[in-house]
Amino acid sequence: MKFEMSKGWWIVLQATRQVWFVASLYCVAAVLTALLGVMADPVIPKSLQDIIGRGAVDSLLTIIATSMLSVLVFSLNTLVQASTAAASNATPRAVGTLLQDRIAQSALSTFLGAFIFSLVGLIALNTSLYGGGGRLVLFVATIAVIVLIVVTLVRWINYLGHLGQITKTVAQVEAAATPSMEHYRRAPYLHAHPQKDKRPAGLDMIEHDKIGYLRFIDVPALDDIAERLKANIHVLERPGAFVTPGRHIAGIALPRESATDEETRQALRGAFTVGNARSYDQDPLYGLTVLSQIAMRALSPGINDPGTAIDVIGNLVRIMASGSEADADVRHGRVFIPAIETDDFFDAAFTGISRDGADKVEVGLRLQHAFGSLSLLPFEGYGANARSYSAQTLDRARQMLDFENDIKRLEASARKGHLTG
């Protein structure tokens, strides 16, 4: 059986994406490397112990300590400015993907780790923990750290040329959204049964005690609870929904004259992770929403950049076309999860752009081309929704465009994509 992520593993995954996690690993590695010389000192041959003098290593470590602190402060300031630019030029929802970028995390962590390494090394040198063999090991480690710093600086300088640019931000959002869509194609119901249009009557309804966005559902945990109760669990909200006390997130189909105790209800709530922001992992609509918001910001009168909106439409088509449908792989036979309607994908991606770009013929033409491309894909409902949203886009354009020839161009584009008769 393929590995399936539980809530615990998902929390670990979220932690590994944070800047502090990678930086902590580098700091631990730096401390261990600096102390390696102390432990290795007894095994270094006497003939090699006097090759490196104490002053040589001390000078190198001092240079690293002073320079890395300055570089780290500069890099943090640059990252903050890039995050501010991404929030103002794109959308605040895109900042999270910028902070999770591995190149930026690696650069910051390398500079911080090198600074910690030099500090620990200097402390050990000045407290006479190192013998001749230890100084040799520390010197070799210092040279390796300098090489790592140089390589990281070269990559970081090249990366800084794109950091915070709208095109880079869009690419980062697409990179985060595509795996989510691919996973959805493979497991649209998270390896559970699809919830039918009509849910069973008499469910023991469960609500969450927190307010926020549903970020993750631990389906294996729900299945374990259902097996213990010998009942079926019907999930009522998918990740991405905004939940509050009073809004039911699940229902339990219990045998007659049975009731759910508070401990079980609390365990069931624990399988639903609620937070202040949405997550890409189980929410394929989130990436489409973020990209659509970037395009809408570009179409706003204050920015007026239809070129970015046109580029984003291409990203949206690539995401919606990614992945391939697979046969249903039901691993949790007692859990039922509702589907994401095809209209939800088109609505998240194109409704806002269609509305805000209705007065720009170039945006309308690109939308019609996108609908024509999506209508050819083999996914269920894509053809009908592409024709529906093409008609809506045309209706909006007819109300906003004054030049008759522009309207005719849009109608011709729709006919060319076989979206209208």
Residue 323: is its pLDDT beyond 50? yes
Give residue 340's pLDDT: 93
Residue 260: is its pLDDT beyond 70? yes
Q: How buried is 54 (Cβ within 10 angstroms: 0-12 exposed, 13-18 middle, 19+ buried)? A: middle
Torsion sign across C-alpha atoms 350, 353, 355, 361: negative
Predicted TM-score (pTM) of this structure: 0.85
Separation of alpha carbons 193 and 191, rounded Å: 7
Kindly state the tokens that stand for 20. Answer: 């502090």
- pLDDT digits 0-9 by tens, 96-140: 787 778 888 888 888 888 888 888 888 877 777 767 677 777 788
Query: Average pLDDT in the 57-80 region?
Result: 87
Residue 39: is its pLDDT beyond 80? no
* Average pLDDT score, the chain: 86
Query: How many CB atoms are closer than 10 A to CB 38?
Result: 16
Kindly state the tokens that stand for 307. Answer: 């070129």
Query: Average pLDDT in the 33-45 region?
Result: 72
Q: How far is CA 180 from the centre of its chain?
A: 9
Kindly state the tokens that stand for 43. Answer: 């095994």
Give residue 145's pLDDT: 87
- pLDDT digits 0-9 by tens, 294-311: 999 999 998 889 999 999
- pLDDT digits 0-9 by tens, 352-389: 999 999 999 999 999 999 999 999 999 999 999 999 99
Query: Average pLDDT in the 209-232 region?
Result: 92
Question: For helices 306-321 and 342-356, what crossing angle results, to 10°?
Answer: 170
